[in-house]
Amino acid sequence: MALAIHGGAGTILRSQMTPDLEREYRGGLETALKAGWAILESGGSSLDAVERAVISLEDFPLFNAGRGSVFTHAGEQEMDAAIMDGNNLRAGAVAFVKNIKNPVGLARLVMERTEHVLLAGEGANQFAEQIGVKAEPDEYFFTEHRWLQLQEAIAEGRVQLDHANSPPYEGGVAAASADGVVLSDAPPRKPIGTVGAVACDKNGHLAAATSTGGMTNKKFGRIGDTAIIGSGTYADQTCAVSCTGHGEYFMLAATAFDVAARMKYKSLSLEAAAQEAVDYLTTINGEGGLIAVDTSGKVTLPFNSDGMYRGSIAPGGAIEIEIYKTQ
């Protein structure tokens, strides 16, 4: 049995953290780990454990998912989430849903109640309404620090992912042309802000779940990697993976599936496969990280950014929580 979680990767520097804030973040991670672990310890499934852990992270206002979601350009909070059951290769996902307290739970309902994998936008909200998922008022999601982030981003004319403090994004090229409009007037800054969980239960069954509030000041119905099976979220009978970072690169690299592919086709260990997948991201200028678990309960949490909110728990209940790079 094993459980690992993340609360986003990116520019997370000790110099910008206060002891109080760090304690809050660590508390949020610990609460989520304990919630998921309680399910595994009592014999529950990895699917239930990752959903429970991600719900806990969505409810925690400091992470960019659920309650703490950032604001879009239009001042709305649009959320993406996905969940995948590796044992039977089923998955569900939602993209830019609004007023849903726990998008990961709605993703699970897409998996269990529809013949589809991904529902998006108003249609996904209509589905939620029809199956009786209660909508939360805007006030539930409002957090002042996210609102201030939007005002700042609008003032600076940029799209911003959470934990974004580093130099301008260099890949992908939002090239202005003579007749062109670009998505932002200034280059967006680097990532990130996502939560996720992976678990192996007592039967060796694997599951992964990921949830995000997207990018501050985003426009045009952008869908990132979180809701994309194979990119931000993936689980099969080899491994379960949840990613966080600059989503577009994870989409181009199919990073979550890539970890499984390297294990299956190159016979690599979980750790080696995950490290290779992150190294590949680095070669294409993709910033972020991932958490992964295999059927033996091994866990790995590689990233190429300055930090990643992350934690894991192993039999015996030993909890490990880290934020920065470790030597």
Q: Does residue 159 touch a copy of itself according to CB under 8 A?
A: yes
Contact with a copy of itself (CB under 8 A) among 19, 132, 137, 316? 132
Q: Does residue 289 touch a copy of itself according to CB under 8 A?
A: no
12 to each of 130, 189, 225, 306, how far by Cα in Å? 40, 14, 21, 6
- 292 and 276 in contact (C-beta within 8 Å)? no
Site for a copy of itself in 16-55 (CB under 8 A): none
| Min dist. Cβ of residue 326 to a copy of itself (A) | 29
160 to each of 155, 186, 192, how far by Cα in Å? 12, 10, 8
| Min dist. Cβ of residue 49 to a copy of itself (A) | 21
Phi, psi of 91 (to 5 degrees): -155, 155
Q: Which run of H or of E encompasses 126?
A: helix 121-130
Q: Does residue 15 touch a copy of itself according to CB under 8 A?
A: no
Contacts of residue 327, defined as CB under 8 A and 6 or more positions apart, other chains included, come to: none
User: 30, exposed or middle or buried, with CB in 10 Å at 0-12, 13-18, 19+?
Assistant: middle
Residue 38 or 182: which CB sits closer to a copy of itself? 182
- Is there a catalytic annotation at residue 194? yes
Which residue is catalytic, options 11, 194, 210, 255?
194
Q: Does residue 178 touch a copy of itself according to CB under 8 A?
A: no
Which amino acid, residue 218?
A: K
Q: Does residue 262 touch a copy of itself according to CB under 8 A?
A: yes
- 199 and 35 in contact (C-beta within 8 Å)? no
- Please list, residue by residue across 166-176, b when 16 or more beta carbons sit within 10 angstroms of its beta carbon and e when fewer do: eeebeeeeeee
Contact with a copy of itself (CB under 8 A) among 23, 27, 112, 186? 112
Site for a copy of itself in 51-90 (CB under 8 A): 89-90
Q: Does residue 114 touch a copy of itself according to CB under 8 A?
A: yes
Q: Does residue 237 touch a copy of itself according to CB under 8 A?
A: no
Residue 113 or 145: which CB sits closer to a copy of itself? 113
d(CA 282, CA 146): 29
Contact with a copy of itself (CB under 8 A) among 13, 222, 275, 298? 222
| Min dist. Cβ of residue 240 to a copy of itself (A) | 14
Of 194, 164, 153, 170, residue with least CA distance to 305: 164
| Active centre residues (catalytic) | 194
Question: What is the contact surface with a copy of itself in residues (CB under 8 A)?
Answer: 89-91, 95-96, 112-124, 126-127, 130-132, 159, 169, 172-175, 177, 179-184, 188, 219-224, 228-231, 234, 247-248, 251-254, 257-258, 261-262, 265-266, 284
